[in-house]
Chains A and B, each alone.
Chain A
């Protein structure tokens, strides 16, 4: 399978502060990669490198096998980009904006653009600044989709938008990968949305990638597990890869992140058997992997 995005050992410092620290990440063709992390974790800085807006200080960034800084035309001509804050020129009318984009992108499909505009119910004669935030997001989405880019990059697309627009954005992601085997990278703090549409998930914290794996593997390696010990316990047990213990007597529940069979063996050694295992939502996994003060609620 071909790599649409391949980042290796990317480090970026702003002054003394490392915004990205040895980041490696891959997006394969036809897949949706969800980038999750708190505000300020480095998501937008990472996306700027992918778009060629920032130069890699250390490491390499390749998009379609090209360096986005050295070959911006080769990369950006095939990338559709929707930012959290739209940079659309407020004075332009919607139909003027379409013509403007048409000039930039040879592959611009005006019929498709019009189809999207009608589906999103946008007045073609309205100026951008007259539109609501939700409508502007729809115009931005139209502009990002209408030249059928091979890679769609969405930076916090759902931020501050109502459920209807958010659903339209998610539907666009699904359509992008469903029909034509194109790829999507999107960052979001709405983890339930990531869980719906992502193939792979990368979690970033303090500029470092905590994990980048298939959503499936991420879910497999995180559980809420209830154990029964052979005798009463007065203090929380200690088992490798388990934390957030709650319970008393013989029954204790923990969150677990790691390799299941190893945990089971360790639990047996500690004198316990597994009573119940539950799946975690991506939200719960995110909390579990966040700093310790958040863990012990």
Chain B
């Protein structure tokens, strides 16, 4: 699969839920941001056409259009003359902020768990550094 198809299929696997009350367009915006921040949607990748995604998710096409517009305003995606919507090429400060936010959530979860195990923050940092060097050497230890 080329970059375009990867981007499309990742976006097509999005889900919306009416259970938590968050407006649907915001749910789409958040998920697309997550896909971008996690690298599953790479710069230059094309998002699914509005109509296709709307039919897939069974939601109003204007909701998808609204989500794309929102991302366009934040310069995370760009419209091209061909009518398609693409992940922006430029490294955007928003993407970096989003990455930070996602990482912060993981760190929070890690710290909570460490507290429960009575492991100090200093010990956690040491463990992070240790794991980092292990990963850098390419040795995957279980």
Contacts and interface: CB of A to CB of B under 8 A. Distances in A.
B55 A175 contact: yes
A174 B54 contact: yes
B19 interface: yes
Given A178-B51, A178-B54, A281-B18, A197 B60 contact: yes
Interface string B50-61: 110011001111
B18 A192 contact: yes
B93 interface: no
Interface string B1-36: 000000000000000101111111000000000000
B55 A178 contact: yes
A195 interface: yes
Contact of B23 (A167, A171, A197, A279): A279
Size category of the B interface is: 10 to 19
A179 B22 contact: no
Contacts of A71: none
Contacts of B133: none
A174 B21 contact: no
Interface residues of A, number: 24
Contacts of A167: 58
A284 interface: yes
A198 B60 contact: yes
B92 interface: no
A171 B60 contact: no
B38 interface: no
B120 interface: no
Of the candidates B22, B59, B62, the one having the most CB atoms from chain A within 10 angstroms of its own CB is B62
B57 to A, nearest CB: 8
Contacts of A179: 51
Contacts of B23: 216, 219, 279
B19 A174 contact: no
B18 A178 contact: no
Contacts of A272: none
A216 B18 CA distance: 14
A284 B19 CA distance: 10
Contacts of A198: 60
Interface in A171-225: 171, 174-175, 177-179, 192, 195-199, 216, 219
A171 B50 CA distance: 14
A274 interface: no
A198 B61 CA distance: 10
Nearest to A285: B21
Interface of A: 31-32, 167, 170-171, 174-175, 177-179, 192, 195-199, 216, 219, 278-282, 284
Given A178-B61, A284-B21, 14 more contacts: A174-B55, A174-B60, A175-B55, A177-B60, A178-B55, A195-B24, A196-B18, A196-B59, A197-B58, A278-B21, A279-B21, A279-B22, A281-B20, A282-B18
